[in-house]
Amino acid sequence: MQLPHTLTLAGASDALAALRAVAAQGDGKVLGIDASGLRSFDSAALALLLQARRLALASGRELRVSGAPPQLAQLAQLYGVGELLGLMPAS
């Protein structure tokens, strides 16, 4: 799944609907999220990624986030979920 350029609270419900659709039809061992297109985001982006992780785990898959901008990794670290989302190396 490719994240949109803007992912804020205002558009989070659309992104969540897209995520649910992708997770429901996906197969394989990995639920992949491409975050390389993110340009403008807030904590809603982290909430979406946490939901993606829950959906992946519920279906026996691994969540893999690629292309995360450094600011997203910093935000995830600030909220204490960077390692959980795979946005920073395990310590």
CATH code at 23?
Answer: 3.30.750.24
In a domain, 22, yes or no: yes
Residue 11 has pLDDT above 50, yes or no: yes
In a domain, 13, yes or no: yes
Asked, for residue 87, whether it belongs to a domain, the answer is no
The residue behind tokens 């898959």 is 61
Which pLDDT does position 88 carry in this prediction?
67
Element (H, E) at 19: helix 12-25
* pLDDT band per the 50, 70, 90 thresholds, residue 89: low
- Looking at the DSSP bridge assignments, the partners of residue 32 are 64
**pLDDT tens for each residue of 22-77:** 998 877 899 999 999 999 999 999 999 999 999 999 999 999 999 999 999 999 99
Residue 84 lies in a domain: no
Q: Per the domain annotation, does 61 fall within a domain?
A: yes
For residue 12, give its domain range: 6-79
User: Does residue 67 lie within any of the structural domains?
Assistant: yes
In a domain, 86, yes or no: no
